[in-house]
């Protein structure tokens, strides 16, 4: 006959993610209260009168010598171990390391630690960690096999528009490069290149407009996050054989979400400004081929528009 749990304990766990998107796991040692030898997201018990976040920060210092910031609540698992007469309620939080490097300080509780990407996780995970991991994959938009779910992240499960929560993500270096072009008649292109447009220096005004637009992207695109951009570069190349002006925008930031929309917005507004500055000369100009050609940062890493264009990270 199975034992009856006679007490409920509160444990707390941390999903710690590094800037490469890897997860920190620890293998439970011989002094663990249950599931010895299995890998888990690290955590510990909450003492009477102790705040959950304070308990988690204390446990990380005592067991691994690291300081953490406790972020968003990911999951709460009701964990019943009848064979061991234990019942645990375990909230798990998304966390980042703010000081120290993980080391094993209590070998009785933990025998091994490591950083793992989602596609190389060990198979012997605790029950709570398996449930936490399923929630974490859904948060990333992945199915249980680690494949991207084909769904729009700006739409919730009820079909309502939402602004995606990125507070749990680690800060990483973000770069995006976008391109576009303005097609026009050769005589219009020559007039712009020679500075003969009545309104003034077309490319100088378009450059400033592109930079300003990148900074104001969340005011133009409703569900974009306000970002602290570290650099915006807007460049032009006059292509006489093609009778066009090519526009390139490079945007940089360090944060929790990408700057692709900022780069695309910069190119779009720079192209529209060229049109506005020169429309008195030619109204048949066309702003065309606005596209992302390069991005890096975040869990998806580096992306290039393959086989079409070659870009460098300026």
Element (H, E) at 262: helix 260-278
| Of the candidates 125, 128, 127, 149, the residue with the CA atom closest to the CA atom of residue 139 | 149
d(CA 197, CA 200): 6
- The Cα–Cα gap between 276 and 292 comes to 23
Residue 79 pairs with which residues in a beta bridge?
Answer: 88
Of 104, 94, 2, residue with least CA distance to 53: 94
- The residue whose two tokens read 């938009």 is 141
The secondary element (H helix, E strand) that includes residue 273 is: helix 260-278
User: What tokens appear for 78 in the block?
Assistant: 């009701």
The Cα–Cα gap between 208 and 211 comes to 5
Q: Which of 75, 165, 171, 276 does the annotation list as catalytic?
A: 276
Is the Cβ–Cβ distance between 235 and 314 less than 8 Å? no
Q: Taking Cα atoms as reference points, which of 185, 196, 167 lies closest to residue 256? A: 167
**Three-state SS for 156?**
coil
For the record, the structure tokens of 71 come out as 């972020």
Element (H, E) at 134: helix 127-139
- Please say if 143 is a catalytic residue: no
Q: Specify burial of residue 306 (Cβ count, 10 A radius: 0-12, 13-18, 19+).
A: exposed
Catalytic positions, written as ranges: 276
């Amino acid at each position: 006959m199975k034992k009856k749990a006679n007490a409920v304990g509160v444990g707390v766990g941390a999903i710690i993610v590094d800037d490469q998107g890897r997860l920190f796991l620890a293998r439970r040692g011989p002094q663990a209260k249950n599931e010895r030898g299995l890998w888990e997201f690290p955590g510990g018990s909450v003492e009477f009168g102790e705040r959950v976040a304070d308990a988690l920060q204390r446990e990380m210092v005592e067991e691994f010598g690291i300081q953490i910031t406790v972020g968003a609540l990911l999951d709460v698992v009701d964990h019943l171990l009848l064979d061991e007469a234990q019942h645990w309620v375990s909230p798990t939080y998304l966390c980042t390391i703010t000081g120290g490097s993980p080391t094993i300080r209590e070998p009785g509780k933990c025998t091994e630690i490591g950083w793992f990407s989602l596609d190389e996780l060990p198979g012997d995970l605790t029950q709570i960690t398996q449930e936490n991991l399923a929630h974490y994959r859904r948060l990333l938009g992945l199915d249980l096999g680690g494949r991207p779910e084909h769904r729009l992240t700006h739409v919730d499960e009820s079909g309502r528009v939402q602004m995606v929560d990125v507070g749990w993500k680690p800060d990483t270096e973000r770069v995006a490069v976008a391109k576009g072009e303005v097609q026009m008649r050769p005589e219009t292109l020559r007039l712009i290149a020679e500075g003969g447009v009545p309104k003034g220096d077309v490319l100088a005004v378009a450059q400033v407009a592109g930079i300003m637009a990148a900074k104001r992207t969340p005011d133009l695109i409703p569900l974009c996050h306000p970002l602290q951009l570290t650099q915006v570069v807007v460049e032009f190349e006059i292509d006489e054989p093609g009778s066009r002006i090519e526009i390139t925008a490079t945007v940089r930031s360090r944060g929790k979400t990408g700057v692709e929309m900022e780069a695309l917005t910069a190119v779009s507004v720079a192209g529209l400004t060229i049109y506005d500055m020169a429309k008195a000369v030619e109204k048949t100009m066309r702003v065309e081929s606005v596209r992302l050609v390069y991005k890096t940062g975040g869990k998806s890493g580096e992306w290039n528009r393959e086989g079409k264009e070659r870009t460098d990270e300026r």
